[in-house]
Chain A
Amino acid sequence: MKYILMMHCPRTGYELMGAWSKKAVADHIAFMHALNKDLREAGELAAAEGLADPKQAVIVRVGKDGAPVTDGVFPESKEFLAGYWIVDVESEKRAHEIAARASSAPGADGKPFIIPIEVRQVMSAPPDEFVV
Protein backbone atom coordinates (compact mmCIF):
# COMPACT_ATOMS: atom_id res chain seq x y z
CA MET A 1 0.00 0.00 0.00
CA LYS A 2 1.32 3.39 -0.92
CA TYR A 3 0.89 6.50 1.18
CA ILE A 4 1.98 10.06 0.64
CA LEU A 5 3.33 11.83 3.72
CA MET A 6 3.05 15.57 3.26
CA MET A 7 5.03 17.81 5.51
CA HIS A 8 3.34 21.14 5.96
CA CYS A 9 5.08 24.18 7.22
CA PRO A 10 3.78 27.58 8.21
CA ARG A 11 4.25 30.40 5.72
CA THR A 12 6.94 31.79 7.98
CA GLY A 13 8.70 28.42 8.30
CA TYR A 14 11.27 29.03 5.57
CA GLU A 15 12.25 32.37 7.06
CA LEU A 16 12.35 30.95 10.57
CA MET A 17 14.69 28.20 9.48
CA GLY A 18 16.96 30.85 7.99
CA ALA A 19 17.49 32.10 11.53
CA TRP A 20 18.46 28.70 13.01
CA SER A 21 21.97 28.09 14.25
CA LYS A 22 24.34 26.25 11.97
CA LYS A 23 24.20 23.23 14.23
CA ALA A 24 20.39 23.18 14.34
CA VAL A 25 20.24 23.28 10.52
CA ALA A 26 22.88 20.55 10.22
CA ASP A 27 21.09 18.35 12.76
CA HIS A 28 17.79 18.80 10.95
CA ILE A 29 19.33 17.88 7.59
CA ALA A 30 21.15 14.89 9.11
CA PHE A 31 17.88 13.68 10.62
CA MET A 32 16.11 13.81 7.25
CA HIS A 33 19.03 12.06 5.53
CA ALA A 34 18.99 9.28 8.10
CA LEU A 35 15.22 8.89 7.74
CA ASN A 36 15.45 8.62 3.95
CA LYS A 37 18.35 6.20 4.19
CA ASP A 38 16.42 3.96 6.56
CA LEU A 39 13.33 4.03 4.35
CA ARG A 40 15.40 3.21 1.28
CA GLU A 41 17.16 0.34 3.02
CA ALA A 42 13.84 -1.00 4.27
CA GLY A 43 12.65 -1.10 0.65
CA GLU A 44 9.82 1.28 1.57
CA LEU A 45 10.78 4.52 -0.17
CA ALA A 46 8.97 5.14 -3.46
CA ALA A 47 9.79 8.85 -3.70
CA ALA A 48 10.82 11.83 -1.57
CA GLU A 49 11.22 15.45 -2.51
CA GLY A 50 11.66 18.76 -0.74
CA LEU A 51 10.03 21.83 -2.24
CA ALA A 52 11.51 25.29 -2.80
CA ASP A 53 10.49 28.33 -0.77
CA PRO A 54 6.81 29.20 -1.36
CA LYS A 55 7.88 32.74 -2.30
CA GLN A 56 8.81 31.30 -5.68
CA ALA A 57 5.43 29.63 -6.05
CA VAL A 58 2.71 30.84 -8.38
CA ILE A 59 -0.83 29.74 -9.06
CA VAL A 60 -1.48 28.94 -12.71
CA ARG A 61 -4.84 28.95 -14.50
CA VAL A 62 -5.67 28.65 -18.13
CA GLY A 63 -6.49 31.92 -19.89
CA LYS A 64 -9.02 32.56 -22.66
CA ASP A 65 -6.53 31.74 -25.41
CA GLY A 66 -5.32 28.58 -23.63
CA ALA A 67 -2.13 30.31 -22.45
CA PRO A 68 -1.16 30.10 -18.76
CA VAL A 69 -2.15 32.98 -16.49
CA THR A 70 -0.06 33.19 -13.35
CA ASP A 71 -0.93 34.71 -10.05
CA GLY A 72 0.96 35.14 -6.81
CA VAL A 73 0.34 32.80 -3.94
CA PHE A 74 -2.64 33.96 -1.95
CA PRO A 75 -1.68 35.61 1.31
CA GLU A 76 -4.45 33.83 3.18
CA SER A 77 -2.71 30.43 2.76
CA LYS A 78 -1.14 29.96 6.15
CA GLU A 79 0.54 26.64 5.42
CA PHE A 80 2.54 25.30 2.54
CA LEU A 81 3.72 21.92 1.44
CA ALA A 82 7.41 21.85 2.30
CA GLY A 83 8.12 18.33 1.08
CA TYR A 84 6.73 14.85 0.76
CA TRP A 85 7.53 11.17 0.90
CA ILE A 86 5.72 8.40 -0.94
CA VAL A 87 6.19 5.17 0.97
CA ASP A 88 5.21 1.64 -0.03
CA VAL A 89 4.37 -0.15 3.23
CA GLU A 90 2.54 -3.17 4.61
CA SER A 91 -0.05 -1.22 6.59
CA GLU A 92 -1.51 2.16 7.40
CA LYS A 93 -0.05 1.78 10.89
CA ARG A 94 3.45 1.62 9.43
CA ALA A 95 2.79 4.78 7.37
CA HIS A 96 1.74 6.52 10.59
CA GLU A 97 4.91 5.38 12.36
CA ILE A 98 7.05 6.84 9.59
CA ALA A 99 5.05 10.08 9.70
CA ALA A 100 5.56 10.30 13.48
CA ARG A 101 9.29 9.89 13.03
CA ALA A 102 9.35 12.60 10.34
CA SER A 103 7.35 14.83 12.67
CA SER A 104 10.02 14.44 15.34
CA ALA A 105 12.73 16.11 13.21
CA PRO A 106 14.69 18.51 15.41
CA GLY A 107 13.92 22.24 15.37
CA ALA A 108 15.91 25.34 16.35
CA ASP A 109 16.52 24.16 19.90
CA GLY A 110 17.34 20.58 18.91
CA LYS A 111 14.06 19.31 20.35
CA PRO A 112 11.43 17.62 18.14
CA PHE A 113 9.81 20.22 15.92
CA ILE A 114 6.51 18.27 15.88
CA ILE A 115 5.86 19.19 12.27
CA PRO A 116 2.34 18.21 11.16
CA ILE A 117 2.48 15.45 8.54
CA GLU A 118 -0.61 14.79 6.47
CA VAL A 119 -0.92 11.10 5.57
CA ARG A 120 -3.04 10.12 2.56
CA GLN A 121 -3.36 6.82 0.78
CA VAL A 122 -2.24 6.77 -2.85
CA MET A 123 -4.91 5.28 -5.10
CA SER A 124 -2.94 2.31 -6.35
CA ALA A 125 -4.99 -0.56 -4.91
CA PRO A 126 -6.40 -3.27 -7.16
CA PRO A 127 -10.11 -3.04 -7.98
CA ASP A 128 -11.71 -5.82 -6.01
CA GLU A 129 -13.85 -7.68 -8.51
CA PHE A 130 -11.44 -10.59 -8.18
CA VAL A 131 -11.08 -10.50 -4.40
CA VAL A 132 -13.54 -13.01 -3.03
Chain B
Amino acid sequence: MVKKRVIPCLDVAEGRVVKGVNFENLREMGEPVELAARYSELGADELVFLDITATLEGRGPILEVIARAADELTIPFTAGGGITAVADARDLLLAGADKVAINRAAFDEPAMLTALAGEFGSQAVVCAIDARGGEVVTHAGRRPRGRYAVDWAREAVDRGAGEILLTSIDADGTRSGYDLDLTRRVVDAVEVPVIASGGAGGAEHLADAFAAGAEAALIASIVHERPARLPELKAELEEAGWPMRR
Protein backbone atom coordinates (compact mmCIF):
# COMPACT_ATOMS: atom_id res chain seq x y z
CA MET B 1 0.00 0.00 0.00
CA VAL B 2 1.25 3.46 -0.88
CA LYS B 3 2.40 5.31 2.22
CA LYS B 4 0.89 8.56 3.45
CA ARG B 5 3.25 11.45 2.81
CA VAL B 6 4.41 14.24 5.10
CA ILE B 7 5.63 17.18 3.04
CA PRO B 8 7.45 20.20 4.51
CA CYS B 9 6.99 23.38 2.48
CA LEU B 10 9.81 25.93 2.24
CA ASP B 11 9.01 29.52 1.34
CA VAL B 12 11.79 30.92 -0.80
CA ALA B 13 12.31 34.51 -1.96
CA GLU B 14 15.14 35.50 -4.23
CA GLY B 15 16.82 32.20 -3.57
CA ARG B 16 16.68 32.30 0.25
CA VAL B 17 14.38 30.72 2.80
CA VAL B 18 12.53 33.76 4.02
CA LYS B 19 10.04 32.89 6.69
CA GLY B 20 8.71 30.22 8.90
CA VAL B 21 12.14 29.67 10.34
CA ASN B 22 13.04 31.37 13.55
CA PHE B 23 16.09 33.56 13.61
CA GLU B 24 18.52 31.07 15.13
CA ASN B 25 17.47 28.30 12.80
CA LEU B 26 17.72 30.58 9.80
CA ARG B 27 21.28 31.39 10.70
CA GLU B 28 22.10 27.80 11.39
CA MET B 29 20.43 26.29 8.32
CA GLY B 30 21.47 28.76 5.70
CA GLU B 31 19.86 28.33 2.36
CA PRO B 32 17.00 26.31 0.85
CA VAL B 33 18.83 23.23 -0.40
CA GLU B 34 20.69 22.79 2.89
CA LEU B 35 17.45 23.06 4.83
CA ALA B 36 15.77 20.71 2.38
CA ALA B 37 18.58 18.16 2.76
CA ARG B 38 18.17 18.36 6.52
CA TYR B 39 14.44 17.68 6.28
CA SER B 40 15.19 14.82 3.94
CA GLU B 41 17.52 13.30 6.54
CA LEU B 42 14.82 13.75 9.16
CA GLY B 43 12.37 11.67 7.11
CA ALA B 44 10.46 14.12 4.91
CA ASP B 45 8.73 12.12 2.18
CA GLU B 46 8.77 14.97 -0.33
CA LEU B 47 9.42 18.68 -0.29
CA VAL B 48 7.83 21.77 -1.78
CA PHE B 49 9.80 24.88 -2.67
CA LEU B 50 7.38 27.78 -2.91
CA ASP B 51 8.86 30.84 -4.58
CA ILE B 52 7.26 33.89 -2.95
CA THR B 53 9.58 36.41 -4.55
CA ALA B 54 7.69 39.67 -4.88
CA THR B 55 9.37 40.97 -8.01
CA LEU B 56 9.84 39.59 -11.48
CA GLU B 57 13.54 40.44 -11.36
CA GLY B 58 13.94 38.29 -8.27
CA ARG B 59 12.66 35.12 -9.96
CA GLY B 60 15.95 34.06 -11.47
CA PRO B 61 17.49 32.51 -8.34
CA ILE B 62 14.74 29.91 -7.89
CA LEU B 63 15.96 28.08 -10.99
CA GLU B 64 19.41 27.85 -9.49
CA VAL B 65 17.92 26.54 -6.24
CA ILE B 66 15.88 23.93 -8.15
CA ALA B 67 18.89 22.79 -10.19
CA ARG B 68 20.98 22.32 -7.04
CA ALA B 69 18.09 20.57 -5.30
CA ALA B 70 17.87 18.18 -8.27
CA ASP B 71 21.56 17.39 -7.89
CA GLU B 72 21.67 17.03 -4.14
CA LEU B 73 18.32 15.73 -2.90
CA THR B 74 17.42 12.05 -2.93
CA ILE B 75 13.68 12.55 -2.36
CA PRO B 76 11.15 14.11 -4.76
CA PHE B 77 10.32 17.78 -4.72
CA THR B 78 7.81 20.18 -6.20
CA ALA B 79 8.48 23.74 -7.32
CA GLY B 80 5.69 26.28 -7.12
CA GLY B 81 4.89 29.94 -6.72
CA GLY B 82 4.97 32.66 -9.32
CA ILE B 83 4.27 30.39 -12.30
CA THR B 84 2.41 32.58 -14.78
CA ALA B 85 2.86 30.67 -18.03
CA VAL B 86 3.71 27.27 -19.47
CA ALA B 87 7.25 28.52 -20.07
CA ASP B 88 7.81 29.18 -16.32
CA ALA B 89 6.64 25.69 -15.43
CA ARG B 90 8.73 24.12 -18.18
CA ASP B 91 11.83 25.98 -16.98
CA LEU B 92 11.36 24.58 -13.46
CA LEU B 93 10.81 21.02 -14.72
CA LEU B 94 13.79 21.22 -17.06
CA ALA B 95 15.87 22.56 -14.17
CA GLY B 96 15.11 19.29 -12.38
CA ALA B 97 11.91 19.74 -10.35
CA ASP B 98 9.99 16.47 -10.17
CA LYS B 99 6.69 18.37 -10.22
CA VAL B 100 5.39 21.90 -10.55
CA ALA B 101 2.52 23.34 -8.54
CA ILE B 102 0.46 25.85 -10.52
CA ASN B 103 -2.12 28.00 -8.84
CA ARG B 104 -3.66 31.15 -10.33
CA ALA B 105 -2.23 30.69 -13.82
CA ALA B 106 -3.97 27.32 -14.11
CA PHE B 107 -7.26 28.80 -12.91
CA ASP B 108 -6.97 31.62 -15.45
CA GLU B 109 -5.75 29.37 -18.24
CA PRO B 110 -6.63 25.71 -17.59
CA ALA B 111 -5.16 24.62 -20.94
CA MET B 112 -1.75 25.05 -19.26
CA LEU B 113 -2.38 21.88 -17.31
CA THR B 114 -3.08 19.95 -20.49
CA ALA B 115 0.01 21.26 -22.24
CA LEU B 116 2.31 20.38 -19.35
CA ALA B 117 0.74 16.97 -18.78
CA GLY B 118 1.22 16.23 -22.48
CA GLU B 119 4.88 17.09 -22.33
CA PHE B 120 5.92 15.83 -18.88
CA GLY B 121 3.09 13.50 -17.83
CA SER B 122 0.29 14.17 -15.35
CA GLN B 123 2.44 12.98 -12.46
CA ALA B 124 4.54 16.14 -12.88
CA VAL B 125 1.59 18.54 -12.78
CA VAL B 126 0.13 19.64 -9.45
CA CYS B 127 -2.82 22.00 -9.43
CA ALA B 128 -2.65 24.21 -6.32
CA ILE B 129 -6.02 25.48 -5.14
CA ASP B 130 -6.50 28.04 -2.38
CA ALA B 131 -9.98 28.09 -0.90
CA ARG B 132 -11.94 30.18 1.56
CA GLY B 133 -15.36 28.96 2.64
CA GLY B 134 -15.13 26.39 -0.16
CA GLU B 135 -14.63 29.07 -2.83
CA VAL B 136 -11.50 29.41 -4.96
CA VAL B 137 -9.45 32.47 -4.00
CA THR B 138 -6.28 33.82 -5.60
CA HIS B 139 -3.78 36.60 -4.94
CA ALA B 140 -2.81 35.24 -1.51
CA GLY B 141 -6.47 34.86 -0.64
CA ARG B 142 -7.43 38.43 -1.38
CA ARG B 143 -9.45 37.77 -4.52
CA PRO B 144 -12.52 35.50 -4.45
CA ARG B 145 -13.12 33.90 -7.84
CA GLY B 146 -16.76 32.88 -7.67
CA ARG B 147 -16.21 29.16 -8.19
CA TYR B 148 -16.40 26.19 -5.87
CA ALA B 149 -13.01 24.64 -5.19
CA VAL B 150 -14.51 21.16 -5.62
CA ASP B 151 -15.76 22.08 -9.04
CA TRP B 152 -12.44 23.57 -10.12
CA ALA B 153 -10.52 20.57 -8.77
CA ARG B 154 -12.62 18.26 -10.92
CA GLU B 155 -11.96 20.34 -14.03
CA ALA B 156 -8.23 20.65 -13.26
CA VAL B 157 -7.94 16.86 -13.13
CA ASP B 158 -9.90 16.48 -16.36
CA ARG B 159 -7.45 18.94 -17.90
CA GLY B 160 -4.42 16.93 -16.86
CA ALA B 161 -3.45 17.68 -13.26
CA GLY B 162 -2.08 14.56 -11.56
CA GLU B 163 -2.38 15.85 -8.02
CA ILE B 164 -4.31 18.54 -6.12
CA LEU B 165 -2.62 20.68 -3.47
CA LEU B 166 -5.59 22.01 -1.52
CA THR B 167 -4.93 24.91 0.86
CA SER B 168 -7.59 26.24 3.16
CA ILE B 169 -6.90 29.95 3.55
CA ASP B 170 -9.28 29.97 6.54
CA ALA B 171 -7.23 27.36 8.36
CA ASP B 172 -3.78 28.48 7.22
CA GLY B 173 -1.63 29.59 10.13
CA THR B 174 -4.24 28.72 12.76
CA ARG B 175 -2.68 25.39 13.78
CA SER B 176 -6.20 24.22 14.53
CA GLY B 177 -6.30 21.53 11.87
CA TYR B 178 -6.90 21.15 8.13
CA ASP B 179 -10.27 21.94 6.58
CA LEU B 180 -11.49 18.35 6.70
CA ASP B 181 -14.88 18.91 5.15
CA LEU B 182 -13.40 20.56 2.07
CA THR B 183 -10.60 17.98 1.89
CA ARG B 184 -13.13 15.16 1.95
CA ARG B 185 -15.26 16.76 -0.73
CA VAL B 186 -12.30 17.26 -3.07
CA VAL B 187 -11.03 13.73 -2.39
CA ASP B 188 -14.44 12.37 -3.34
CA ALA B 189 -14.62 14.50 -6.49
CA VAL B 190 -11.30 13.46 -8.06
CA GLU B 191 -9.35 10.24 -8.50
CA VAL B 192 -5.88 11.79 -8.24
CA PRO B 193 -4.05 12.16 -4.90
CA VAL B 194 -4.98 15.17 -2.78
CA ILE B 195 -2.48 16.97 -0.53
CA ALA B 196 -4.11 18.72 2.43
CA SER B 197 -2.59 22.07 3.34
CA GLY B 198 -3.19 24.83 5.84
CA GLY B 199 -3.74 24.48 9.55
CA ALA B 200 -1.40 21.72 10.73
CA GLY B 201 -0.65 22.00 14.45
CA GLY B 202 0.03 18.41 15.49
CA ALA B 203 0.07 14.78 14.43
CA GLU B 204 -3.66 14.44 15.13
CA HIS B 205 -4.36 17.01 12.42
CA LEU B 206 -2.38 15.07 9.83
CA ALA B 207 -4.14 11.89 10.92
CA ASP B 208 -7.50 13.62 10.46
CA ALA B 209 -6.50 14.73 6.96
CA PHE B 210 -5.49 11.15 6.08
CA ALA B 211 -8.78 9.88 7.50
CA ALA B 212 -10.55 12.40 5.25
CA GLY B 213 -8.85 10.71 2.31
CA ALA B 214 -5.82 12.96 1.73
CA GLU B 215 -2.79 11.03 0.46
CA ALA B 216 -0.40 13.62 1.85
CA ALA B 217 -0.23 16.55 4.23
CA LEU B 218 1.75 19.74 3.88
CA ILE B 219 3.40 21.16 6.96
CA ALA B 220 5.33 24.37 7.47
CA SER B 221 5.68 26.35 10.68
CA ILE B 222 5.50 23.37 13.03
CA VAL B 223 8.68 21.89 11.59
CA HIS B 224 10.44 25.13 10.72
CA GLU B 225 10.36 26.07 14.39
CA ARG B 226 11.79 22.74 15.42
CA PRO B 227 12.92 20.36 12.65
CA ALA B 228 13.23 17.48 15.13
CA ARG B 229 9.43 17.58 15.26
CA LEU B 230 9.36 15.91 11.85
CA PRO B 231 10.50 12.41 12.88
CA GLU B 232 8.33 12.71 15.99
CA LEU B 233 5.29 13.47 13.84
CA LYS B 234 5.95 10.49 11.62
CA ALA B 235 6.44 8.21 14.61
CA GLU B 236 3.19 9.43 16.14
CA LEU B 237 1.34 8.85 12.87
CA GLU B 238 2.78 5.36 12.54
CA GLU B 239 1.80 4.66 16.13
CA ALA B 240 -1.74 5.76 15.22
CA GLY B 241 -1.78 3.13 12.47
CA TRP B 242 -1.02 5.25 9.39
CA PRO B 243 1.35 3.69 6.86
CA MET B 244 4.57 5.71 6.90
CA ARG B 245 7.71 5.32 4.86
CA ARG B 246 10.50 3.57 6.76
The yes or no verdict on A and B being binding partners is no
Residues on A facing B (Cβ under 8 Å) = none
Residues on B facing A (Cβ under 8 Å) = none
